[in-house]
């Protein structure tokens, strides 16, 4: 009894410590400004689900974009523009972000939020199904960074396209690649497409000789996160 209670208290303390650390890191390294806060408020008022990346994930995207000196960034799945703002702000001089979004109602909100955050001039929202829009991007490739965060079933196809639209040194990031551990399972048997997509994505990202990859549990609570890949060759 006593032991159980001590363990529970220790566990609660551990969770609290993790939350405090995350809060402190966010405040120090990834504070939201008016542009980001406005994007979230507008999304909430429009009734969009709060499924955007966390500030720490946003800062990580910026860091990766800066690391490859990104001038051209492609985002698949914009929602309300929150991740797009983080990405667009990391573009080097004259750079551009193209963001693909299936929902035309979101597109209006995104363009407004981009403008409000001061990145309207370097961003473009293309409305449609990503798998229809991606083939039209070959003339604008290579992209220095591709961020995948749309519907989960076609994740393996999005990886194929990201590779096709990349150069050696490009960085490919996919959100929701952990899913409480579900996306890291060895078998896809009997699972839903929303889960098998990220499982297959991770399988390829971890084994494709053209990629150096790592899945990182970086969302709030550390149960979901990014798989990050660097393209080392496109042959």
Binding to Mg ion (CB under 5 A) within 172-191 occurs at 175-176
Element (H, E) at 111: helix 104-116
- CA–CA gap between residue 67 and residue 176 (Å, rounded): 22
Contact assessment for residue 28 and residue 56, using Cβ atoms and an 8 Å cutoff: no
Among 149, 202, 225, 230, binds Mg ion (CB under 5 A): 149
Q: In angstroms, what is the minimal distance from the CB of 176 to Mg ion?
A: 5
Q: Which residues bind ligand DHB (CB under 6 A)?
A: 51, 149, 175-176
- CA–CA gap between residue 54 and residue 218 (Å, rounded): 8
- Here the tokens at position 17 are 């410590």
Q: In angstroms, what is the minimal distance from the CB of 187 to ligand SAH?
A: 25
Among 60, 87, 95, 101, binds ligand SAH (CB under 6 A): 101
Kindly tell me which of 122 and 210 has the beta carbon lying closer to ligand SAH: 122
Among 74, 88, 119, 130, binds ligand SAH (CB under 6 A): 130
Does 35 interact with ligand SAH (rule: CB under 6 A)?
A: no
- CA–CA gap between residue 72 and residue 74 (Å, rounded): 7
Q: Whose CB is nearest to ligand SAH?
A: 77
Helix, coil or strand: residue 127? strand
Does 106 interact with ligand SAH (rule: CB under 6 A)?
A: yes
Lookup result for tokens 């806060």 = 37
Q: In angstroms, what is the minimal distance from the CB of 106 to ligand DHB?
A: 13
Element (H, E) at 170: none
- Helix pair 155-164, 193-207: axis angle to 10 deg: 40
Among 129, 136, 168, 191, binds ligand SAH (CB under 6 A): 129
Binding site for Mg ion (CB under 5 A): 149, 175-176
């Amino acid at each position: 009894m006593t032991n159980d209670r001590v363990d529970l208290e220790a566990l609660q303390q551990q969770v609290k410590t993790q939350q405090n650390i995350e809060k402190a890191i966010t405040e120090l390294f990834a504070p939201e400004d008016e542009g980001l806060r406005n994007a979230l408020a507008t999304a909430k008022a429009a009734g969009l689900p709060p499924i955007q990346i966390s500030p720490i994930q946003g800062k990580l995207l910026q860091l990766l974009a800066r690391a490859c000196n990104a001038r051209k960034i492609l985002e698949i799945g914009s929602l309300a523009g929150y991740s797009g703002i983080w990405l667009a702000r990391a573009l080097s001089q004259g750079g551009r972000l193209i963001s693909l979004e299936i929902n035309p109602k979101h597109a209006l909100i995104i363009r407004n939020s981009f403008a409000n955050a001061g990145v309207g001039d370097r961003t473009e929202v293309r409305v449609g199904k990503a798998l229809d829009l991606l083939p039209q991007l070959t003339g604008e490739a290579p992209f220095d960074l591709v961020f995948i965060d749309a519907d989960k079933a076609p994740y393996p196809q999005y990886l194929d396209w990201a590779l096709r639209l990349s150069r050696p040194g490009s960085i490919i990031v996919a959100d929701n690649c952990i899913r409480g551990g579900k996306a890291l399972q060895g078998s896809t048997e009997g699972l839903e497409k929303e889960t098998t997509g990220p499982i297959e994505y991770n399988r390829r990202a971890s084994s494709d000789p053209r990629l150096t990859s790592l899945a990182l549990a970086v969302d709030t609570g550390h149960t979901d996160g990014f798989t990050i890949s660097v393209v080392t060759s496109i042959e």
